Each structure stands twice: as C-alpha cells, then as structure tokens.
Amino acid sequence: MKPLYLEMNCFGPHQHSIIDFRKLDESPIFLIGGDTGAGKSTIFDAMTYALFNKTTSDRDAREMRSQFATGDEPTKVIFYFEQNGKIFKVERTPEQFLTKKSGKGLTKKNPTANLSVVEDVHKSEIDSIATKPVDVGYAIDDILNLNAEQFKKIILLPQNDFSEFLKSNTNDKEKILKKIFGTQLFTDFTAKLKDHYDQAKSKADDFNNDIKAQIQASIWNETEQDQLKKIPNDQLIPTINSYVAARQEKLTVAQNNQKNADTAWKKADNNYQAAKELQNKFEQLASSKKDYQKHIIEHSTDMETKKKHVIQLEWAQPLQETVHDLNRLQQEQQFDLKNKQELDKELQQSKDQLTVAKKEIATLNDQADDFEDKKKRAQNLSILITKVQDIESIKTSLTQLEPKLKVATEAVHDKANDLKAIKNSIDSKNTELSKYQDLSTQKDQLIKAQTNFSDTFSKLESNRNNSANDVAEIQSKLDKLNSALKEKTQDLAAKKADYQEKIKTRQSLMIAQLRQELSIGEPCPVCGSTKHPYAQNKATADETKLRQAMDAVDASQKAFASAETDLKNLQSNINENSDDFEQKQQLAVSAQVDLSMQYSKFITTSMIDLPQEFNFKNAKLAFQTQVDQLDHQIQVSQKLTSEIKDLQKQQSQKQADLNLAQSKLDQLTAEIKTRSTDLQTKSKDISNPNATSQELISQKDELNKAIEAYQNDLKVSQETLHKNELSFNNNQTKLTDIQSQLDKISKDINNFNSELTTAIQAKSAQTNNLDILKNWINELSQNKLVDLKNAISSYEKEKEILTININKIKEQLKDTQQPDLENLKQILSDAETKRTLAIENTTSTNRDFTEAQTYLEKLQEIIKHQGDFAQKLAAITSLYNVVNGKDGNDNKLKLETYVVQNYLLKILDYANNKFLNRLSHNRYSFELSTQSTNKQRDHGLDINIYDRETNSTRSSDTLSGGETFIAALSIALSLSEVVQSSANGVQIDALFVDEGFGSLDDETLGEAMAALEDIGQNRMVGVISHIESMKQSIGQQLLVKKLGDGKSKIVLVDK
C-alpha cells in the first residue's frame, strides 16, 4: 500500500487539510513535525480510519469530529492509495450531527463509506467496488490482505505501540506472519491431516473392538471364551479352527439322522397328497355345478337384452360424428348472427359521423380569407403597442421616482446609525471572549492522557479478562467432562450388567435345548457322559428365542466394549484439560497482579483524580467528565465566537446596505433626468397621442383569439374526418367477413341435416326418432358399447369354461370313491414330527457350525485388514505427530509454526545484519527463544536478545525504552524488506513511525536515520518526531501548525 493523497475535513484539529504524498518523493524520508497537540498523529488516525474505520488508538471515529465544526461542516476523510498497480479512492464520514436541510436544529447522520478504482487522483472513476461501510471494510481487507491491527504492526507504528509485534506471543505473531506471507496452504494441510488421523485412529479402534466382539460372541461357550481371552491375537486362528472342527463332526451325525427321518416322511406325504388331490376333484365338481346355475342360467335373459342393444348402438355409431358437428355449427351460427347485428349498428353510426365531419370542414374553409386579413391587422397593432408602452413607462417611472428619491435620502441616514451600533456590540463581546483562552490545548492534553490510559489499561484489562474467561471456560468444560464421566461410568456399569444378564439368558436357553436332546444311555455331546442326572427336569427349548438371545448377547457385547472405550477417551480428555486449567489459572493471577501494579503507578502521576481501585469504566467516566466540562466551556466560547461572527456578518451587510443606499440615491437623480429627455423624443412618433397601450392590446388580443380559435377548429375537424373514415372502412370490412362466414355455416348445417334425415328413414334404421338416436350417441360417448360387449364376452367365456370343467371332472372321477383323509393325515403327522425334530437338531448344529465358521472367517479378515492397515496407521500417526509438534523436532514445533518460524528467522537475520547490529553498535542481536516465555504449549516465535557485552541471552522485555525502540524499529524495517521480496508476501510500499526517537542518543539516532533512508530508497518512509536534529537533517517535512481555537493546518516545507 502506497499513500498518494489525503484530505481531512473537520477531523480532529484539521478543518481542511490536504497532504499530497506524491510531492514527498524528492528525498528518501520525510518528517511530520509541529507542536504537541497540533495534530501530527491525527494524520495516521485519518489514514487508518479511511481504510479500516478505526483510529490508531481506542478512540471512536465519532470522537474525531472537530470541536469547532459547525452544523454545516461535515467531518469527512478522503484517501487515495496505490496497490498492485491500481489507484483506489476511499471516502468515509463518521456518525455526526449536522444542520437539517429544512427547519431548525441538528439531525443525526449515519456513517457512510465509498471505495472505487480511479484513473488518478481527482480523475474519473473506473470501477465502483463498495458503497456501504461494512462492504468497504471487507474489500479493504481483501485488497491489502491486512486487517487494522496487522496494518498498525507492520506499516504504521503508532505512538506508544511500536514494540507490540516484538513482544507479542507466538500465537499473535503467527497470525500476522501467516497472513502477510501467505502460508494458508500449511494451515489447510494440517486441518486435512487431522481429519485423516482421526479417521485412521477411529478405524484402528474399530479393528480392536471388532476382534473383541468376535471372540466374545455368543457362539463360543464360556470355557472357549475364557481360553480365547488368554490367547494373543496371532494365535486365535488355530484355536478357533479346532472349535469349528468339533462342531463339524457333530453336524455330520445330525445330518444322517435327518436323512432317515426324511425318507419316511416323504412316503407318508405322497400317500396323503394323492388322497387330498382326489378329494379336491369331488369338491371342484360340486362347486362348478353351483357356479353354472348362478352365473349362467340365472343371467341368460339379461344377456339377450344387452346383445340387442349392442346392435342398436353399432347402427348409431357411424352417425356420432355427424351429430356432434351439427351441434357445433349451430352454436357458431348463433354467435356470428349476434356479431353481425352489432356491426350493422356501428356501420350506420360511422356513416352519420363521417357526413357531419365533411360539412364542418367545408364551412371552415369558406372562412379562410377573412381570418388572413385579421392576422395582418394584429401584426400592425403589435408595432404600435410597443411605442405607446415605452411612452407610458417613462411617464410612470417619473411619477414613481420622485417619492423614491425622498425615501433613499432618509435610508442613507438610518443605515449609517445602524452600522455604528453593531460596531459597539462587537467590541463588547470580544472583551468577554478574551476570558476563554487555551481551552483546546487543555482538552488536547486531557484527551492525550485519556488515550494513553485506554491504550495501556484496555490491553491489560483485556488480558486479565481473557485469562479469567479462559479459566472459567476450562472449569466449565471440566465440570461438563466430569459430569459426562459420571454418566459414562454409570452407562458402562449398566451395559456390563445387561451383557451379563443376556449371557445368563442365552446359557439357560442352551441348557434347555441340550436337556431336550439328551437320551438315556447316549453320551452327552458336551461332556461325553452317559449319565444325565438332570435330564428328567422339564425344559422347553425354543429355537427362535435362543437365536434372539444369541443376537442380543452380540449386540450387548459390542455396546459394552464401545462404552469402555468411550470412558477411557473421556478420562484422557479430563487429564489434558486439568493440566491446561493449572496453566491458565497461573496466567490469570499474573495478569491481575500486572494490572494492579500498573494502575497504582498511573494514578500517582494522573492529572485528574481517579478511583483508588481499578475500574476501567469508572476511570474512563472520570476522564470523560473532565472532557465534558472543558467541552461546555469550549461551547460557551464557540457560542461567543459564533455571535461575533454573526455580528461581523451583520456589520459587513450594514456597510454594504449603506453603500447600496448611497448608490441608489445617485442612480435615482440621474435616472429622472434621463427619462425626461426620452419622453420628449418618443412622443413625436405617435399620430394619436390619446390612444392607450391597453386599448391597443385589447384590440390585438381579440384578433389573435379569433385566429387561434379558427385554427384549432380546423385542426380538430380534420382529425375527426380522418378518424371517421377509418372507422367506416373497418366496419364495412368486418361485416363482409362475418356475412361470408354465416353463408358457409348455413350450407354445412343443411348438409348435415340432410344426412341425418336419410339415415333414420332407411329400412335398416334401428329407430325413426331423432331424439332416441341422440340418446344412443350420448351412450356411445360414455363408452357404453364397449362396456356391453365386454359384459357379453365375459358371460360367454365363463359359460364355456364351466361347461368344459364339469365334463372334464366327471370323466376323471368315473369309477372312483372318496378317500379316508383323517387316517392318512395322522400317519403323515407322526412321520413329520420325527422329521421336524431331526431337522431342528441338524439346523441347530449346522447354525453353530456355520456361525463358528463365519466368525472364524470374519476374524481372519479383520486380522488380515488390521495387519494391512497397521503400516498405514503408523505412517499417518508419525506424520501427524511431526506436523503437530509432538515428534520430529526437539522444540516440539507445529508445522505451521515451523514454516512461519523460517520466515521470522529471515526477518531476524536481515534485521541483525542490516539494522540491529548497526543501531546497537554491534552489542545486540535477535535470537529465537527455544522455550516459551509463558509456559504455553504453543511457542517457537518468541524473540530474545543476545547481549554480546554480557555474553548472555535475555528476554526482549528486559530492554530499556530506547533499546526497545531500536529493536522494534529494526524488526519493522526488516519485516517490510523481507515481506516485499517474498513471492507470496503482502505488498508494502510505505512505512510510518510515530515518535520514539527521543529515547536515542545522537550516534544511535544518526544510524537509525541512515537505516530509514536506506529503506526509503524503494518505498515511502514517514516519521513523527520533535527532535531538532531530525528537523534540520530531513529535506522534506510536513509542518503541522496551530491556528488557535483548536484548529491546525499542514504546510509542506522543502529544505
């Protein structure tokens, strides 16, 4: 950003000040000088306000409105600057009260802002970018790639704030350096890597939970589960393989038993099905006979009626379109006849109006010669009237001038007396105004003290409040986490109890099934014993409930494992936040102590009384009260000044009135003499001196009115004639068209009527009645013919099917008797019971084997994928730890901090080589701190000072005021150079420094000036200072001079 032009209107002490920065390029550096309180720093406030709607301090933009500004003088800042080869113009006005456009008093004006691209300063606008304050703010941030705070740290170094970047913490430095060097890429990379890491970690936990779920599945009995829990993951597969093999042997035995039972059941089923089929045929025969009676015989009469009506409708169907067309044409005929009657009336009216118009035109044409003669008489009267009016005017003037001459003489005397009275009043008020002097200076000193207080303690209070808020926030977070821990613990206990309860349910169901399968003398499939002491106990095995219980155990086990993992993660989070809470609490205590000590020092030197206990709001109120008192006195003095100005304006006006009155008296005397001479000369040219101009004008007006009326009548008649001719012709055309259409419709109607008459009189006609024919056609429109045919077709089809079925079944049942189904059904039931028990046993055994095999395959797949994923997890974890400073470098720096640290090292190296060694006489050099200065986790950008005299490194906070200034100046100069040379860096074409040079000795000051001049070779450098040697050595200067009454002006000085 390179400033080009700044205009300040009623802004601070500047009523109307202009700085053309383009004229400050003759030397590498320019000075802004002037008396204290004249408004030097206000120049920086104006640039910052124009760009960001803020000042360099905590003062609100509304407070920058000049105390001396009247209601007709708006506060406005206009700023031109160059960026990336374009010239931008930004114009702002703050909230202010201005004189109403209508009425009395003031009205509130809201803030305004406008940003545009222009050809050059004061040249045409090329492109409008934004027209609202908020939109201008966003646009400026995008154009400069800086916000207000960053602008004040690297381009404009405000008074008492130049060391903020030097002493800021890592987080604040990182935000600035990331933006000005364009390192957002690394921020985005870190965020995306965090997402990938979280996903990978979650996936790894899923693998472990899946393995745990597989070995705790309900398919494995308690003995097997106890064995699996003790076996490492790499030995799980062989063990489970042996479990699966045992289940497969049991399945083979069950399958053989099922095969034998199935053979017996099939034989019984075949016998029973054959008997059922025979019984069905006897039942089908009875049903078919019943349907034939109900659906065929009982509906035969109705079918005959429908068949006859089908013949009638088929005869009427060809005439359907003819009837529809006839109805449509009759409707069109009625509509056209109605239109024809209306057009006949309109045609006759047009004809009558045309005849009248022609007669009026003929009458007016006969009067043309008479009105031409009247026009010539009116022209002659115009010449004569002018001459008569001149004579009458001269006579009237002479009559009026004599009393005016007397009045003018008296007015000169009165105005001389008024002027003397106003002079006496001005002298009296000037005497009273002399009592109010130097009020603006007192107010400037008070506001400067107020600003210093706000600058110092707003940051301290903000630091204290932020620390306290951080402590409260972490405490609240810990409370929520502990509450969640309690809930998670209870949830874990509930899920564990649920898991154990579901295991018991599953075991009871499995035991019941086992008891049901036990046979006396047969070995137990679990323990192998042939003695079954509990086999006689009643137990009912439900396969569905057992399956549900097994699924419930699996779901409950997964929920239990998930709750256990959540509890561990939550406990880890609580531990991390507890550590953070202790650090934040220490910072909060330190911030409170620092605030109290600084406030105690401040109140001892304050120019006003402040509360003994720090309260930022009350202290600001104390300052504001004092400012308001001075404002009241200033308003009294301004009111006197305004009254004096008003009187001075009245004095000037009265003097002008006196001069005017004297001039008027002289003019009247000369005018009377001149008009008397003119009267004698003009009277000689009039033949009838008794005729007045009013009489002549009346004659002329009568002639002109008659001529104008004639011309208007003629124009109206011509327009009426043309309009009536068009109307008559149009109506004739429309009438001809409608008559042609009616003739065609009548012909078509006759043809259709003839066609219908022929049809109903034919021998083959189903009716001679036209109304009946229309009813049949209406039924055709409703698809009645299709419905009738469908009903007849369905009837015939059903009749045919029923007849065939009855004959077919009779033939099949010939020489057969009805079977004994109950006896065959009992035999089948006994065989089916045995088969079902065999199937259930096989199914249960097969399910155990299949589930065991499935769990084995899932476990193999999980362990395989876990092994494949382990390398990827290790790689992404390693990368994540490196990027987030947990591994990979001794200083534990995050990637973003590491990248920005490299830019900061370039800045510090450049500052050491080019500036700090030079300004500190080779005593100091910058170093990056290897440890955080405030025990925060994020560090790496804290700056220390290496002192060659003591051969030690110390914090930059230990530097004196002058040392701090040269250190901050060195970094500011180096920052502008390094950023300018960076490919992605912000464009920095200017650097401004407000004060601070007074803390330097002469030799260091000379070195600082030389360094600034070096920087000024390729960018604009401006400084504010009161040092006399700088005033003498800097070639170009902006001198801010006080004018009194709180006003200042800016003068460009070239030496």
pLDDT of residue 575: 82
Which two tokens mark 586?
């220490």
Position 710 pLDDT exceeds 60: yes
Domains 1-155+996-1001+1023-1055 and 458-605 share a fold: no
pLDDT in tens, 867-926: 888 888 888 888 878 777 777 666 677 777 788 788 888 888 888 888 778 878 888 898
> Which has the higher per-residue pLDDT, 270 or 640?
270
Place of tokens 């065609």: 744
pLDDT above 70: residue 158: no
- For position 541, what pLDDT does the model report? 57
Class of the domain covering 458-605: mainly alpha
Q: Are 313 and 849 in contact (CB under 8 A)?
A: no
Mean pLDDT lowest for which of 424-428, 515-519, 707-711, 787-791? 515-519
Query: What is the DSSP secondary structure assignment for residue 24, as one 8-state letter?
Result: G
Q: 395 or 490: which carries more pLDDT confidence?
A: 490
Q: Are the C-beta atoms of residues 867 and 241 closer than 8 Å to each other?
A: no
Q: Are strands 156-157 and 96-99 parallel, antiparallel or unpaired?
A: unpaired
Distance from C-alpha of 47 to C-alpha of 51, rounded to nearest angstrom: 6
User: At residue 525, does pLDDT exceed 60?
Assistant: no
Q: Give pLDDT, residue 258.
A: 87
In angstroms, the CA 415 to CA 655 distance is 8
Express each pLDDT in 310-336 by its tens digit.
Answer: 888 888 888 888 878 878 888 888 888
Average pLDDT on 256-285 reads 86
pLDDT tens per residue across span 470-522: 888 888 888 888 888 888 888 888 888 887 888 888 778 777 766 776 666 56
Note the pLDDT tens digit of each residue in 37-88: 888 889 989 999 999 999 887 788 888 999 888 888 999 999 999 998 899 9
Contacts of 197 (CB under 8 A, 6+ apart): 876, 877, 880
Give me the residue spans of the domains in the chain.
1-155+996-1001+1023-1055, 216-256+819-880, 458-605
Residue with token string 């088969």: 835
Residue 48 CB coordination number (10 Å): 23
Give the span between the Cα atoms of 707 and 710, in whole angstroms. 5
Give the Cα-Cα-Cα angle 320, 325, 329 (nearest 5 degrees): 155
> What's the mean pLDDT in 628-640?
80
Tell me the pLDDT tens digit for each residue of 992-1002.
887 767 667 77
Q: What is the DSSP letter of 957?
A: G
Mean pLDDT, rounded, for 347-360: 82
pTM of the predicted model, to two decimals? Answer: 0.42
Residue for token pair 């004196």: 960
Please tell me what DSSP assigns to residue 914: I
What is the pLDDT, as a whole number, of residue 780?
Answer: 83
Percent of the chain at pLDDT above 90? 9
Reported as a pLDDT band with limits 50, 70 and 90, residue 980 is low
- At residue 930, the pLDDT reads 73
For the chain, the helix, strand and coil percentages under 3-state DSSP, each to the nearest 5:
70, 10, 20
Average pLDDT over residues 968-974: 78
**Cα gap 739→753, rounded to integer Å:** 21
Q: Three-state SS for 1046?
A: coil
Q: Which residue has the tokens 């360099």?
A: 56
Work out the burial of residue 1002: count CB atoms within 10 Å of its CB; fewer than 13 is exposed, 13-18 middle, 19 or more buried.
exposed
Which tens digits make up the pLDDT trace of 9-33?
999 999 999 999 998 877 888 889 8
Place of tokens 């049903």: 287
DSSP 8-state class, residue 38 = S
Percent of the chain clearing pLDDT 70 (strictly above): 93
The closest of 589, 580, 591 to 475, measured between CA atoms, is 580
Max mean pLDDT range (384-398, 581-595, 820-834): 820-834
pLDDT at 407: 84
- Whether residue 92 is predicted with pLDDT greater than 80 in this model: the reply is yes
What pLDDT shows up at residue 119? 93
Residue 935's pLDDT band (cuts 50, 70, 90): very low
Q: Which superfamily does CATH assign the domain made up of 1-155+996-1001+1023-1055 to?
A: P-loop containing nucleotide triphosphate hydrolases (3.40.50.300)
Residue of 152, 119, 148, 126 whose CA lies nearest to 136: 148
Q: Are 433 and 640 in contact (CB under 8 A)?
A: yes
Average pLDDT over all residues of the chain:
82
What does the alpha-carbon distance between residue 331 and residue 285 come to, in Å, rounded to a whole number? 63
pLDDT mean over 939-963: 82
